[in-house]
Structure 1
Amino acid sequence: MYAVIKTGGKQYKVAAGEKIKVEQIAADVGQDIVIDQVLALGAGDSLTVGTPLVAGATVTAKVVSHGKHDKVRIFKMRRRKHYQKHGGHRQQYTELEIGAISA
């Protein structure tokens, strides 16, 4: 069984036992969280699509860790103008381990 969930403005296809990295969630390491924004549920050939959410469906997940992704380098330059600007960004994430998917 798999589910399509929405968290942090993004959508993820998850199944029980998987680990995913999502936008940072304010939760402690080891804490169980419930994600109730389930957009679709699937098992084998059957697929249930919500309008926009599947009623009563939840996904439970355990917070494994918090961290930062690799740095994204930003470089701006205007040719012949002696202008260069350097920057960078490291996005924070929360790693979740998917537990049960309930319809």
Structure 2
Amino acid sequence: MNIYAIIETGGQQLRVEPGRFYNIRHFVSLKPNQLKQNTKVLIYRVLMIRQKSNIKVGHPWLKGAIVKGRILHSCMEKKIMIYKMIPKKKTRQKLGYRQKSIRFLVDSISLNGEEIFE
């Protein structure tokens, strides 16, 4: 696609396009009890928007830029294993955890109240 935006959420920067879904670690603005299916989410931390050859960059964020989307469901990432060994002390520790994430579908990207289309 020729239209995409770079957003900041969950401690990471993502390149998002309308009509695609992404796994996001957490939304800062939402509490865990608000993360239900089809919850509409607006993301205001938009760093850049590209529309064909037109590029708009914010400093640090674009004013008036919004990425609209909705939550599809919550899911769990792959298990991460942490193995800690201290040599000569005969100490070994094996830990593992699964990161919670949210599947997020981008519906549209808008700038100054106008939705951006191809």
Please name the residue that 1:57 is paired with.
Answer: 65
Letter of the aligned partner of 2:10 in structure 1?
G
Q: Which consecutive unaligned segments of at least 5 residues does structure 1 have? A: none
Please name the residue that 2:46 is paired with.
Answer: 38
Distance of 1:24 and 1:37 partners within structure 2: 14
Please name the residue that 1:22 is paired with.
Answer: 24
Partner deviation per Cα, 1:23-81 (whole Å, 9 max, x = no partner): 12332111111111111000112210001111101000110010110110011112232
Please name the residue that 1:87 is paired with.
Answer: 95
Q: CA RMSD in A?
A: 1.1
Q: TM-score, normalised by structure 1?
A: 0.94
Please name the residue that 2:116 is paired with.
Answer: none
State the aligned residue count: 103
Q: TM-score, normalised by structure 2?
A: 0.82
Q: How many percent identity over aligned positions? A: 27
Secondary structure class of the residue paired with 2:48: strand
Q: Which consecutive unaligned segments of at least 5 residues does structure 2 have? A: 112-118
Distance of 1:102 and 1:24 partners within structure 2: 22
- Counterpart of 2:82 (choices 58, 63, 74) is 74
